Amino acid sequence: MKPVLKNLRTLALTAALAPLWANAQIAQLQPPEIAAHTYMLVDVTANQVLASKDVDAPVEPASLTKLMTAYLVFDALRAKKVTLEQRLPVSEMAWKMPGSRMFIDPKMQVPVEDLLKGMIVQSGNDATMALAEGVGGTKENFVRLMNEQAKALGMTGTSYKNPEGLTEPGHFTTARDLSILAMRLLRDFPEYTHYYSIKEYRYEGTPAANGRNRNTLLFRDPTVDGLKTGHTNAAGYCLVATANRDIPNVGSRRVLSIVLGAASTTHAPTRVRSC
């Protein structure tokens, strides 16, 4: 078993046993060492941090940035500013986005739902930009909305410069802020978060490659149902993962794991690719 995968299972066991320890007054185990800049394990059900390291250190979020982009798109859907069936144009800027792509082009008018799948499952920077322009009018206005929403959620250690997460000066967040965002995403928009558990997706008429969800924990553990991976050279390998498990004599328990800045796929908790 790879060292970090073993450590993450230790963290999951910590989460499962935490209520029993509290009741039995058993001493807590020391959190494991993980080869990453920062990490955080949260019992979402109990709103309790179970293990953490340097959660307020600023880090590059890479494609974890797309969690905020999705939050704003979900909010626009609920407010009926856009619909899932609505077709959005693909601008030259969206088409030419570097990094991970959904492979859409300016000849296409793509439904919002398919752009969401392209952003979430394929981590497509082109899909992300098309959504940002469709909801915000321009990239710049959408980024302003991202920062306003971060402030409203209490994400005091976050600054966004783009909607997709490519490296840019002044674009950063923290593990604590990502935990806030992830929990609010799950709580505020339960009707849309099923997109994060889709294992494969490809938009009709685009290349067959690059259709598999980067979050390989979805393929390894049936209780895992999200959320997002990310990678750039500057950010390292990153993951925000969540699982919902039924624990005997305890009940349903949701656990959120955030690991940021692993040095390689060997040290990362799951295989991730470029932003």
**Residues labelled as active-site residues:** 63, 66, 123
How far apart CA 63 and CA 78 sit, in angstroms, is 24
Q: Is 227 exposed, middle or buried (0-12, 13-18, 19+ CB in 10 A)?
A: buried
Closest CA to 215 of 201, 207, 204, 226: 226
C-beta separation of 235 from 273 below 8 A: no
Closest CA to 159 of 173, 148, 169: 173
Q: How are the residues of the chain apportioned to helix, strand and coil, as percentages rounded to the nearest 5?
A: 35, 20, 40
